[in-house]
């Protein structure tokens, strides 16, 4: 059993400050062996720490997919009753507090269960219809948040087993920025007034997200160094690259280039 941060009884792997190489043992243990869905639709997910800019990019990607003639839908995989539960709110306010009574494995399994239910009841149905399904946060959020606090430990293997039941995305993006930038963006939200921010914790979390994304082969989008338009163009290029492999609305030919499609 993975014990608390104050009294660790298992040896955990520290989160590296840089993204690990593909031949590293830690890198291999970060990989989630998800299942290919083999349906006619496409699953596109966006991951990243809070304030990374992913939600803005999801909306732009959804709009662009519709200009390609696709049936494009956004699915919130995590139910509101979990998102706004006392356990989640307590964790969100003080995620790195060693005095918290929130068990990160229990919270992670709760989130995984909610996402699994919605994935099997909604996401797979839409994929079967040929839809392009967009998710703002997927199972990699649960995995990154857990690993950031506990590292790789026996409890993590339990969580990995559950997360391996999910369908693998056809396309995945990781948005990231400096911790200070992410915090500044979040502070601008009215609903986040009074929230406690830990810069060091957020730096570690962003590094963990990037490590998880590298292990899965995500496309990185630096909203720190690139303009919003540059990020949207990179996403559009990737979406256009899938236009010849998925179903289209009848009577509409595929675009020949991203630039032509956006004009």
Asked if 76 and 136 count as a contact pair (C-beta separation under 8 A), the reply is yes
Rounded distance between C-alpha atoms, residue 134 and residue 73, angstroms: 6
Among 87-91, 138-142, 154-158, 251-255, the range scoring the smallest mean pLDDT is 251-255
Beta carbons within 8 Å of 4's beta carbon, 6+ residues apart: 98
Beta carbons within 8 Å of 178's beta carbon, 6+ residues apart: 206, 224
**Mean pLDDT, rounded, of the chain:** 83
Q: What is the 3-state secondary structure (H, E, C) of the chain?
A: CCCCCCCCCCCCCCCCCCCCCCCCHHHHHHCCCCECCCCCCEEEEEECCCCCCHHHHHHHHHHHHHHCCCCEEECCCCCHHHHCCHHHHHHHHCCCCCCCCCCHHHHHHHHHHHHHHHHHHHHHHHHHCCCEEEEECCHHHHHHHHHHHHCCCHHHHHHHHHHCCCECCCEEEEEECCHHHHHHHHHCCHHHCCCCCCHHHHHHHHHHHHHHHHHHCCEEEECCCCCHHHHHHHHHHHHHCCCCCCCCCCCCCCCCCHHHHHC
What's the rounded mean pLDDT across residues 152-173? 94
Among 27-36, 56-65, 225-234, the range scoring the smallest mean pLDDT is 27-36
Residue 243, pLDDT score: 76
Say what the pTM is. 0.82
Domain-embedded: residue 4: no
Residue 263 has pLDDT above 60, yes or no: no
The CATH number for 96's domain is 3.40.50.300
Please indicate whether residue 206 or residue 95 has the higher confidence score (pLDDT): 206
Percent residues over pLDDT 70 in the chain: 80
Confidence category of residue 67, pLDDT binned at 50, 70, 90: very high
> Over the stretch 39-51, which tens digit does the pLDDT of each residue have?
999 999 999 999 9
Q: Is the dihedral of CA 181, 78, 122, 106 positive or negative?
A: positive
> Over the stretch 133-155, which tens digit does the pLDDT of each residue have?
999 999 999 999 999 998 888 99
Domain-embedded: residue 262: no
Collapsing DSSP to helix, strand or coil, 219 comes out as: strand
Confidence category of residue 27, pLDDT binned at 50, 70, 90: low
Residue 99 has pLDDT above 50, yes or no: yes
Rounded distance between C-alpha atoms, residue 229 and residue 22, angstroms: 31
What's the rounded mean pLDDT across residues 58-66? 96
Number of domains in the chain: 1
Percent residues over pLDDT 90 in the chain: 64
Phi-psi region of 197 (alpha: psi -120 to 50; beta: other; left: phi over 0): beta
Residue 92 has pLDDT above 50, yes or no: yes
Asked if 153 and 10 count as a contact pair (C-beta separation under 8 A), the reply is yes
Residue 68 has pLDDT above 90, yes or no: yes
Residue 1 has pLDDT above 50, yes or no: no
**Residues forming a β-bridge with 176:** 222
Domain-embedded: residue 168: yes
Residue 202, pLDDT score: 92
Residue 96, pLDDT score: 72
Collapsing DSSP to helix, strand or coil, 44 comes out as: strand
Please indicate whether residue 64 or residue 27 has the higher confidence score (pLDDT): 64
Domain that holds residue 161: 45-244
């Amino acid at each position: 059993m993975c014990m608390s941060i104050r009294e660790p009884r298992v040896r955990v792997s520290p989160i590296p400050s840089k993204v690990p190489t593909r031949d590293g043992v830690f890198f291999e243990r970060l990989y989630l062996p998800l299942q290919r869905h083999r349906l006619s639709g496409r699953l596109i997910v966006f991951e990243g720490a809070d304030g990374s800019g992913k939600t803005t990019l999801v909306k732009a990607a959804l709009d662009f997919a519709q200009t390609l003639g696709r049936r494009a839908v956004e699915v919130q995989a995590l139910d509101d009753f979990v998102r706004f539960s006392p356990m989640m709110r307590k964790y969100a306010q003080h995620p790195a507090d060693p005095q918290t009574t929130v068990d990160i494995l229990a919270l992670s399994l709760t989130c995984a269960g909610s996402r699994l239910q919605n994935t099997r009841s909604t996401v797979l149905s839409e994929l079967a219809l040929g839809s392009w399904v967009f998710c703002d946060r997927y199972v990699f959020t649960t995995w990154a948040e857990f690993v950031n606090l506990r590292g790789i430990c026996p409890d993590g293997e339990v969580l990995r087993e559950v997360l391996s039941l999910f369908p693998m995305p056809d396309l995945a993006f990781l948005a990231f920025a400096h911790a200070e930038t992410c915090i500044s963006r979040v502070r601008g939200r009215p609903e986040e007034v009074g929230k406690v921010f830990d810069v060091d914790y957020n730096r570690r979390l962003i590094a963990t997200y990037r490590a998880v994304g590298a292990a899965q082969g995500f496309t990185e989008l630096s909203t720190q160094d690139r303009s919003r338009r540059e990020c949207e163009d990179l996403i559009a290029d990737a979406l256009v690259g899938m236009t010849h492999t998925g179903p289209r609305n009848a009577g509409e030919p595929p675009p020949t280039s991203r630039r032509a499609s956006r004009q």
